[in-house]
Structure 1
Amino acid sequence: MRPRPWLRALLFGAASCLCLCALPGPAAGADDAAATPSPDAVEKAQSMFKKGATLYESKRYALALEQFRASYAAVASPNSHLYIARCLAELGEHTEAYLEFELVAAEAAARAKTEPRYAQTEQTAQLERDELARKLALVTVTVAHPDAASSLAIAGKEVPRERWGKPYPVKPGKTEIVLRTRTTSIPQTLDLSAGQAKTIPLDAAPLEPSGAADGSPPLLDEGPVGPLSEAPSPRAYLRPYAYVAGGVGVAGLGVFTVAGLMANSTYSDLAETCRGPCPISRKDDVDAGKTQKTVANVSLVVGALGLVTGTTLFILSFTGGGAGEPQRAAASPQLLVAPGFIGVRGAF
Structure 2
Amino acid sequence: MTCTRNRVFPCFVVALLLCTATPAIAQGDGDAATGGQTQSTPSAQDLYTSAQKLFDQGNFAEALIGFRHAYNASSSPNARIMIGTCLVALGRTAEAYEEMSATLREATTRAETEPKYVRTRDAAAKHVALLESKVGKLVVKLVNPAGVDVTVNGTRLPPDKLGVPMAVDPGTLVVTATHTDGRVERREQAVKAGESAQVTVEFPEPPPKKVEPTGPVRVEAPKPAGGEVRRGGPVRTAGIALAGVGVAGLVVFGVTGLMARSRFATLEDECHGARCTDLKYADVVDSGTALTTAANVSLALGAAGLLGGGLMVWLGGPSGGRSAPPSDSARTSFGSPAGPAVGAGFTMSPGRAGFHCTVAF
So what's the TM-score if we normalise by structure 1?
Answer: 0.47
So what's the TM-score if we normalise by structure 2?
Answer: 0.45
